[in-house]
Amino acid sequence: MTALEQLIEALRRLPGVGQKSAQRMAYHLLQHDRPGADALAHALQQATHSVRHCERCYTFSESPLCPICQDSRRDARLLCVVETPADQAAMERTASYHGYYFVLQGRISPLDGVGTREIGVEPLLARAADGQVEEVILATSFTAEGEATAHVLAEALRVRGLRSTRLARGVPVGSELEYVDLGTIAHALVDRRAT
């Protein structure tokens, strides 16, 4: 394989990038943006060498404990379980959650051979049983796999006498009911709360 072909192959590994886009990116970098290409190569190398998983919550971190786990002002009674560091970042952007996190290594997917061991259920159970956590908030996605993962986790936590809650499913903020899909309205009705 030529160096150009190797670059295109490497770019194709990125999610959502097919042969054509990989080619376009490679040509662009080599033809119009050599400094950008060098910066990209450097940043990738830096990141793969220095970014690890936090020892406590398993999110990406450059130190043994991530900044959130190091922050003693957060509410130790709350532990929010998410599927990915990206989901954790989304929760953080809401600025309405002040507890700690546990980042799973994905979600249970029997067809792909991903089970409780692969996503890190044991470390989560150990973390949740630290004596301070009073509520584990299951914030896995609302897909079939995310729901299955939440179900398995809730059961495992319950067996150990730990309380878990699930994010409510509801009508998006700023939306008009007539344009919301029926599944979402049905779930919002089930998850309704007192006013």
Which residues form the interface with Zn ion (CB under 5 A)? 54, 56-57, 66, 69
- The enclosing H or E element of 24 equals helix 19-32
Q: Cβ of residue 69: shortest distance to Zn ion, in angstroms?
A: 3
Rounded to the nearest whole angstrom, what is the least distance from the CB of residue 18 to Zn ion in the complex?
Answer: 35
Q: How far apart are CA 102 and CA 80, in angstroms?
A: 6
Q: At its nearest, how many Å lie between Zn ion and the CB of residue 61?
A: 6
Alpha carbon distance 64, 41 (integer Å)? 25
Which is nearer to Zn ion, 58 or 145 (by Cβ)? 58
Closest distance to Zn ion from the beta carbon of 63 (Å): 9
Contacts 24+ apart (CB under 8 A), 113-118: 116/152, 116/156
In angstroms, give the least distance from the CB of 99 to Zn ion: 12
> Quick one: 5 or 62, whose CB is closer to Zn ion?
62
Both tokens assigned to 178: 């007539």
Q: Which is nearer to Zn ion, 41 or 129 (CB)?
A: 129
- Which residue pairs from 89-95 have beta carbons closer than 8 angstroms and sit at least 24 positions apart in sequence? 91/139, 92/68
Indicate the residue among 85 and 146 with the shorter CB distance to Zn ion: 85
Which residue's CB is nearer to Zn ion, number 57 or number 162?
Answer: 57
Distance (Å, rounded) from C-alpha 142 to C-alpha 167?
9
- As a whole number of angstroms, the distance between CA 128 and CA 162 comes to 8
d(CA 104, CA 58): 7
